[in-house]
Structure 1
């Protein structure tokens, strides 16, 4: 299996992509990784590492898409960028998936334009992984589609169920629609219609509220990209905020060093599920191929986990199963 990695994406390129790729091939002996980006830059970073040169390759792509560049403009004007080149390799069948910690908008735009959409999919979606009491679950859409038609919620539900079942190992995943209340008549006209159309699914649990996410009332939480991105970013802020609150509490209570250390240890253990490095990246579900995006600040561990997650999606034939579910 061959996974292409954007070596010029994210806040810590090329260090994180290079080190994460080396970790991935060391952990999975069936993997070959292709680092895509400026050749001189990648080789200079590789010079400081020992690695299997037959399973870690370099594909020259001289241009770099910045994190704040316009997605459409970047895809149009930077045809030799690591993102466009890497997805082009995927389109040509030269790799099985492409992963990046770079510009999310550019990656989504290039994936949709170059790879196209799966049969039966109106719009691809970003499926974000979110911690719950039962482990990580999906919140989707997480930013790709700020407005979502009722029929699209049904597509998202089917794609999300396939991913949760195949990758997270949850049998018969439940689907919930994020809303301002549990009652069927709650929400906008669009959400009311979405509720009606989702009700045809046997695993639909109805409307769920924000407080139900951590309780794992569903396995796939549906929302539009505006709500989903806010929920995602709020979740990412929780560990840092709690750390500040706890430090203030320790100081206000005058706890000794031993007790303070124990409290910090409990806090760190409790918040491990929030660590984005453990997830690595999230998939663009609905594109006719496999692309994944990671957090801009992705560490080598995050890149490694994103590569391994992409490999797992390939092994489980995610797209074929999504097409079958939509039919």
Structure 2
């Protein structure tokens, strides 16, 4: 299994992508990696590491897509970028998948245009793992499609169900439609029609509200990309805000340093479920290939897990099962 890794994607390249790749090789001996990016930069980083040279390959891609670049402009102007060349190699069958912690918009645009869509898919979508009191749930759409047609909610639900079952190990995952109330008649005309379409799925539990998300009311949350991205970014801010509130409160209450250390240790353990590193990255569901995106600040551990998840998507024949579910 050869997985291409964007060696210059994310906030901490090439260190974290390269180190994470080597960690993946050590954890799973069925995996090989194709490090994609400027060859000299990758080789310089590899000199600092012990690795299996027989399972570590390099695809020279001299151009780098910045995190703040326009997705469409980057895709059009940087044909020799790690994203473009890595996905092209995947399209040609030279590798089995591609992962990146880089520019999400550029990766989605390139994945859609280079790999194309799966048969029957209206539009690919970005899903995101979302921590809850009951474990990891899946948020769809997390920013790819700002507006959805009712039929797209149904397709996303089916694709998300397959991913939850095969990769997140959820048995009979439940689905909720994020809305402004629980009653079927709530929301826009699109929400009402989507509710009726989703009702044909056994796992559909109806409308859910924002207050239900962190409690893990369902395994999959469906919403449009605008709302989903707001919910995602809000969730990412929670651990940091809680730490600041605790720190300020302990300071005002003159809590001893020893007790502060203990409380922070407890808080860290309690917030462990919010750690994105466990999943690493998620695929663009609906593209005709295996393309995963991770958090821009991905650590080597997160990169490692994203590579392993990409391999799981391939071995579990995720796309074949998605196509079968839509037909």
With the length of structure 1 as denominator, give the TM-score of the two structures.
Answer: 0.98
**Pairing 1:107-122 to 2, within 5 Å after superposition:** 107-122=107-122
The answer to whether the aligner puts 1:170 opposite 2:170 as a matched pair is: yes
Cα distance in 2 for partners of 1:72, 1:194 equals 30
**Pairing 1:190-201 to 2, within 5 Å after superposition:** 190-201=190-201
Cα distance in 2 for partners of 1:299, 1:202 equals 38
Aligned to 1:56: 56
Cα distance in 2 for partners of 1:225, 1:93 equals 31
CA RMSD of aligned residues (A): 0.9
The answer to whether the aligner puts 1:259 opposite 2:279 as a matched pair is: no
Cα distance in 1 for partners of 2:162, 2:103 equals 26
Q: Secondary structure at the match of 1:186?
A: coil
Aligned to 1:278: 278
Cα distance in 2 for partners of 1:20, 1:170 equals 26
After superposition, the C-alpha distances for 1:250-293 in whole angstroms (9 at most, x for unaligned) are 12222222322221111100111112222211210000001011
Cα distance in 2 for partners of 1:77, 1:257 equals 54
After superposition, the C-alpha distances for 1:56-94 in whole angstroms (9 at most, x for unaligned) are 111111111111111112111211110000000100001
Aligned to 1:81: 81
Measured after TM superposition, the shift of residue 165 of structure 1 is: 0.7
Aligned to 2:288: 288
In structure 2, runs of 5+ residues without a counterpart are none
Q: Secondary structure at the match of 1:193?
A: helix
After superposition, the C-alpha distances for 1:183-209 in whole angstroms (9 at most, x for unaligned) are 111111111111111111121100001
**Pairing 1:132-211 to 2, within 5 Å after superposition:** 132-211=132-211
With the length of structure 2 as denominator, give the TM-score of the two structures.
Answer: 0.98
In structure 1, runs of 5+ residues without a counterpart are none
Measured after TM superposition, the shift of residue 135 of structure 1 is: 1.1
After superposition, the C-alpha distances for 1:159-182 in whole angstroms (9 at most, x for unaligned) are 000010111111111110000110
Cα distance in 2 for partners of 1:260, 1:11 equals 31
